[in-house]
Amino acid sequence: MLIDTVWSYAYGKPLGSAAFKTQPSDFHVREELGFDPDGEGDHVLVEIEKTSMNTRDLVAELIQLTGLAEVDIGYCGMKDKQSVSTQWFSLHWPGHHELPVRGGEHWTVLQTYKHRRKLKRGSHARNRFSILLRDVQADRVLLEKRWQLAIHQGVPNYFGEQRMGYERRNIQQAYAMLARYAKRPPRRLSARESMLASALRGFWFNQVLSRRIELGSWTSWLPGDVVMMDGRHSIFTPEADDADVLDRLKTLALHVTGPLPGGGKAVVGEALLELEQQWLREDQEAIRRMATLVDQQRRSLRLRLQDVHLAWEGDDLRLGFALQSGSYATAVLRELVNFEPESQEQRECDDANSDQ
């Protein structure tokens, strides 16, 4: 499969251009847990705001500061280095209530709580974004109309390019990994190998989503489809004539899904399975190898924007919105304007789960 594929747009080509993430303050992201801390337990929940710092570097500082092992520190997801990001960490630290310092050169502790459980990847509810697009070169009326389409109809839930790696190198390395394990799969993947597998599965998902956009079926039910509740990961197979399901698809309460290939029995109908296999036919051998390493999953094809905001600041555009965990702000932006490609330094978020 060609790794330089350009995926389809839902509402036509971008309407112009803009500069993106020219400085960290242009990209604010804040995790929202979706639950209240327990107030007791052997873990310390810490909300930290960091600037120009990726998640793993902060974890390294927390290890040095507390003396804990890496396994004792949990977090919901990775965040871009070129940003101002607020995220939660859990520290398994019985007898402690807070960190001995309130921050470092690039980070500040906002609040701490006691908690019973370690945070896991994707365990937060959503991410809230405030993004400044600079020097926007586009018709404002058309751009605001496109924004309204995104709000009312959703946007394609593409995995972002940061999942694929700079110049999609993660995809190339993932193919090489599968070839290496063709005859003898490992008992367990390393953290790096898990990230590569995740990247390639995301690449395949994007391929299927792109084809369904081309067919006009990325928001509508096809025979054999399974659907997912908005903001949740549970799936079910509706009846073809279920009017309630069709209505809930229109209101963005439900979404049809695409594949994250892996092992196990297919949950979609035979006709849809054949379609998805046809769209990924050049990679069927790689998918069979992937099935020996990870289990298959489904992911929503559509992304609903919440708590939206748009304001012009001269020639710059400020956008605010919240997205469910596991989704990418760039999936929203690409439907509006082209933005300058990020450098490897800007794109650094070493992300495996990608909540963004």
Q: Which residues are catalytic?
A: 80
The helix-helix angle for 169-180 and 191-215 (nearest 10°) equals 110
3-state secondary structure of 47: strand
CA–CA separation, 207 and 99 (whole Å): 44
Cβ atoms of 230 and 254 within 8 Å: the answer is: yes
Cβ atoms of 315 and 136 within 8 Å: the answer is: yes
Strand partners, 19: 134
Instruction: Phi first, then psi: give them for residue 123, nearest 5 degrees.
Output: -80, -5
Closest among 38, 286, 305 to 154, alpha carbons compared: 305
Distances (CA, A) of 89 to 76, 121, 195, 341: 7, 11, 20, 30
The first and second tokens of residue 302, run together, are: 């559509």
When computed from its CA atoms, the radius of gyration of the chain, rounded to whole angstroms, is 21
The first and second tokens of residue 119, run together, are: 């945070």
CA–CA separation, 45 and 115 (whole Å): 6
- Alpha helix (H) ranges present in 118-234? 140-153, 161-164, 169-180, 191-215
